[in-house]
Amino acid sequence: MAAPLHMRTPLGRVLGRGAAKSGTEHFWHQRLTAVANVPLTIAAIAILITLVGRNQAAVAQILGSPTVAIIMLLFVVSITIHMRLGMAVIIEDYVHDDSTKLTLLIANTFFSIAVGLASVYGILKLSFGL
């Protein structure tokens, strides 16, 4: 009988989920948001540049206008998903104590969601004038 070509079990190969049991989802979402972040970041910087030096009323009006608000919402959602994935990799690479790692991964998710939703709240408030 020929020696096996690899160490992975047939079931493991079919499921294709790897050691972290999450398959390629992390990699894919990381790349997907990376691709989205490029035009969104350029657009966000362009918006920011046009707002520099303007007073609060003008900034609020422009940020709350439909096109600008939608671009900023997409920007904020995409970067916060991307940064959560990136920080998770940093934590997994450098923190080897299991309980510290878990605590930091939880904190990472909480921070990313909190800062993301706070930004979304800011944009929606300007859009709807609440």
Partner 1 sequence: MLTMMMSIVHRITGFGNYFGTLLVAWWLIAAASPNAYGRFQWFASSWIGRLILFGYTWSVIHHMLGGIRHLIWDTGRGFGPKEREWLAAANLIASIAITLVLWIFIMLTMGVA
Footprint on this chain of partner 1 (rule: CB under 8 A): 31, 34-35, 37-38, 41-42, 45, 49, 52-53, 56-57, 59-60, 63, 72, 76, 79-80, 83, 86-87, 90, 115-116, 118-119, 121-123, 125-126
Closest CB 7 distance from partner 1, rounded Å: 26
Classify 3 as helix, strand or coil.
coil
Residue number with CB closer to partner 1 (105 or 119): 119
Token pair listed for 98: 């299991």
Rg over CA atoms, the chain: 21
Please, what is the Cα angle at 84 between 88 and 18, to 5 degrees? 45
Closest CB 105 distance from partner 1, rounded Å: 14
Find out whether 81 and 33 touch, Cβ atoms under 8 Å: yes
